[in-house]
Amino acid sequence: MYNPEKEVYAPKKEIIKIQEKRLRETVKFVYENSPFYREKLKDIDLDKIKSAEDLEKLPLTTKEELRNAYPLKMSCVPKDRIVRVQMSGGTTGQPVIIPYTRKDVNQWKEMLLRDFMLAGITSRDVIQITPAFGLWNGGFGFHFAADAIDAFVIPIGAGNTRNQIKFMKDFGTTVLCATASYPLRIAEVADEMGVDVSELPLSKMLLGAEPWSEEMRRKIESKFNVRAFDIPGLTEMGGVGTIGFECPERNGIHIWEDNYIVEVVDPETGERVEDGEEGEIVYTSINREAMPLLRYRSGEISAVVSREKCECGIEHMMIKRIRGRTDDMVIYKGVKFYPSDIESVLFSHGVSNYKIEVGNGIRVIFEGDQDKIHEIARDIKEFVGFKPKLEAVPFGVLERFEGKAKRLIRVG
Ligand SMILES: [Zn+2]
């Protein structure tokens, strides 16, 4: 049985030694086995790629390239070694397919076992998995790890919120795995059913798949009386929970640097930015087999927080929690912002259902009292830098989501 402790708390020197070895192996492996990368890297002296620093000499890999590689053109292994595929987001055009070998599935599981260890999840837990079991990566990722520790698994999948609540009560669910906004929907439905969610045996939540604010976390934790962890993940990097996990001291997200190399680049120029500066996260997967990716542009916005040993004892580097995605960025009157920035302000005023319409101007529609408009507008102006049009609507009017919430609407 895999014991994550040694790798999670490995000293920096050891982590970097493994990282550099795996980077060299991965560059060689993709060059030899992927026609896509052989073409892309043909003019580069690959012997010079020895450490994370050297990655800058390589071109970036884009989602468009992955889309064009449909179905398996970027796979580095013959089809008979592939044991499954998952699919990445995006609703238009060719799907982005990520193939896995047995080793890749094990790697996915092992990364999640690191996360489970940090969250204190054990075989005594009852784990309810609410993301879908299908081509999207959520359901299965959680399942592989929950099954490996012999926990009591409830693979209920997405939707049917009433049933979710019934099962939580009847089976004594202690850990809920979900998209970040789902617990708030669960709380609303529980209210309708006369169930007090703070009385449920739930003690932990692993929440991800969308950027969510600290204010939203506070609301979820106080309502449910749980500890809510941010679990990042990207199908292209192997799925939920692979790239890293939230620092137990809540200083940010520790990246599993022996498996992934993270760079932060300017989304417009693709050039690296300084530590501490915000930009687009670029991932290189160095411990995957069917489809390792070099310098993959994730669209996620974050910044490097620290490369030093953290007060939690972990020496893997740390980035900020994801603030947004490049696709969700809005530029208005020269101000750049993400929906999560507005969400922070709304939650601090007790608002949890809202949508943002972007067209000629910015309109924020929220469920709540008319008399809050003035204060919310003032705080958005102060925090984000402009004053949107605000509209208050009665509770229950706006659309509810059981998966990823779609709160940003572009009109006109
Ligand atoms: Zn830490």
How far apart are the CA of 209 and the centre of ligand 1, in A?
21
| pLDDT tens by residue, 269-279 | 999 999 999 99
Query: Distance, CA 306 to ligand 1 centroid (Å)?
Result: 10
Average pLDDT, the chain: 95
Ligand 1: centre distance to CA 248 (Å):
6
Distance 194 CA to ligand 1 centre (A): 39
What is the Å distance from ligand 1's center to 316 Cα? Answer: 8
How far, in Å, from the CA of 120 to the mean position of ligand 1? 15
Given a contact cutoff of 8 angstroms between Cβ atoms, the answer to whether 346 and 376 are in contact is yes
Q: What is the pLDDT of residues 325-384, one digit of tens each?
A: 998 899 988 888 999 999 999 999 999 899 999 998 999 999 999 999 999 999 999 999
Q: What is the pLDDT of residue 94?
A: 84
* Structure confidence at residue 412 (pLDDT): 77
Q: How confident is the model at residue 92 (pLDDT cuts 50, 70, 90)?
A: low
58 C-alpha to ligand 1 centroid (Å): 30
50 has a pLDDT exceeding 90:
yes
pLDDT for 235 equals 95
* CA 389 / ligand 1 centre spacing (Å): 39
137 C-alpha to ligand 1 centroid (Å): 26
Q: What is the pLDDT of residues 198-244, one digit of tens each?
A: 999 999 999 998 889 999 999 999 999 999 999 999 999 999 999 99
Distance in Å, CA 320 to ligand 1 centroid: 11
Output the CA 314–ligand 1 centroid distance in Å: 5
Going from the Cα of 247 to the center of ligand 1, the distance in angstroms, rounded, reads 4
Q: Residue 176: which of 101, 213, 125 has the closest Cα?
A: 125
Q: What is the per-residue pLDDT for 90? A: 60
What spacing in Å lies between the alpha carbon of 115 and ligand 1's midpoint? 12
Q: What is the pLDDT of residues 256-268, one digit of tens each?
A: 999 999 999 999 9
Ligand 1 center from residue 179 Cα (angstroms): 23
- The pTM assigned to this predicted structure is 0.94
| Residue 37 alpha carbon to ligand 1 centre in Å | 35
Ligand 1 centroid distance, CA of 313 (Å)? 6
**How close is the Cα of 249 to the center of ligand 1, in Å?**
6
Question: What's the 211 CA to ligand 1 centre distance in angstroms?
Answer: 20
- Structural domains in the chain, sorted by start: 1-252 (3.40.50.12780), 329-410 (3.30.300.30)
CA of 368 relative to ligand 1 center, distance in Å: 37
What is the whole-number distance in angstroms between the Cα of residue 168 and the centre of ligand 1? Answer: 31
Query: How far is the centre of ligand 1, averaged over its atoms, from the C-alpha of 374 (Å)?
Result: 39
